[in-house]
Amino acid sequence: MSLFEGIFSKLFENKYISPKNIFSEFKTKDSITGLLDKVINCKGEASALAYSETLMIKIENLNDKELLDFFLILSKDYDFDNQELLQSVSNYANNNSNQNYTSMTSKFNSKRMEIFKNLNSIERGTIRLVNIRERLLNLIKENIELKKVDIDLSNLFKNWFNRGFLVTHPITWDTSAKILEKIIKYEAVHEISSWLDLRNRLKPEDRRCYSFFHPTMEDEPLIF
């Protein structure tokens, strides 16, 4: 790993603070909608992390029907504020000042995008959101109105998984079994049929293999 990659990874590592270390006794009986509002409106970083972790746990434990209801709430109640958006566009059309431009562009983020950003800030937030999106995609097949929720989430992923954010690590036969198992599972271009097949690819001394990782998903090989 280069010096720059190491520093960059450390920055991500410090950013994603576990709320468990901040609020070990934090508990709430809030409903999901109550937590959504607190995640958006909470001012303190520690409280925001704690509420975001609690919300994430609730989401992860929803069954398919409950998850559908949750995404419908995000779609309908946490969309753009149309009046504010139209007003800001009108203001910029009449006076294209820097202030009006800043105001207008800030209105193009839906409330649910702010929720997703906060959820991404918790421990392992990125991979947990990836898993939630997988369930969302299954629900979209019969609930097309959820598509805009996925558009917001996928746009955030495009920014978070920008190639400049990724780091490379060498992959050898001594790499953790958890990562090697995922490489066997994920590799699609040159399919890996077994552990022996993988060993034969990694073992030759004249061969060097690397994988791209996101700093917040250190055990998830993205590109091999």
Domains present along the chain, CATH in parentheses: 17-160 (1.20.140.90), 165-224 (3.40.630.180)
**β-bridge partners, 209:** 171
pLDDT of residue 181: 86
**β-bridge partners, 171:** 209
pLDDT of residue 29: 67
Could you tell me which of 108, 111, 107, 109 has the C-alpha nearest to residue 38?
Answer: 111
pLDDT of residue 140: 95
pTM beyond 0.75: the answer is no
Rounded CA gap, 203 and 195, in Å? Answer: 12
Rounded CA gap, 154 and 6, in Å? Answer: 27
Place of tokens 């504010």: 84
Place of tokens 């109640």: 77
Rounded CA gap, 93 and 36, in Å? Answer: 33
Handedness of CA 131, 135, 141, 145 (dihedral sign): negative
Q: Which residues of the chain have pLDDT under 50?
A: 2-5, 7-8, 10-26
